[in-house]
Amino acid sequence: MPVRAGLFVEGPPPALLAGHCRGCANHHFPRQPVCPYCSAETVDEVLLRGPGRLWVHTAVTAAPPGYEGEVPYGFGVVELPEGLRVVGRLTEAEPARLRPGQPMVLAVVPLHVDDEGREVLTYAFAPGDTEPRDR
């Protein structure tokens, strides 16, 4: 089950549930009823599937508050062709094995198993070999 409803679709292929504003033409994530950039209420839901390019990255080496999954894990920002920079987990936990600008594909990854035995899932980015389309 997704860590929160309304963030992503599992697929395959997976996709982020984003908003696109008819007023300012910007995308945002997660989808909001009001555009966070221009305050217009003309937001449509769109699916963003990537691939994108890695913009900046690091790795988390100690579990942050409230996190029950494995460490270390990758953490970074990926630029999507729609003009959006998205913060997310990276499947690669060794920063030296990633370089800014490289193609990244969207993935859905397990976080942990909850009290009722269900696998909790979230979105993440994985190194890929598919070049993103130009903006």
Binds another protein by CB under 8 A, chosen from 12, 65, 116, 131: 65
Residue 132 found at the interface with another protein (CB under 8 A): no
Residue 4 found at the interface with another protein (CB under 8 A): yes
On the CB side of 131, CA atoms within 13 Å amount to 3
77: CB partners within 8 A, 6+ apart: 54, 55, 56, 57, 85, 86, 87, 88
Residue 90 identity (one-letter amino acid): L
Residue 76 found at the interface with another protein (CB under 8 A): yes
Binds another protein by CB under 8 A, chosen from 28, 34, 46, 108: 28
Residue 17 found at the interface with another protein (CB under 8 A): no
Residue 13 found at the interface with another protein (CB under 8 A): no
Q: Which one, of 82, 134, 84, 130, lies nearest residue 107 by Cα?
A: 130
DSSP state of 89: E
Rule CB under 8 A: which residues touch another protein?
3-4, 7, 18, 26-30, 36-37, 56-69, 73, 75-77, 79, 83-89, 95, 100, 111-112, 120, 122, 135
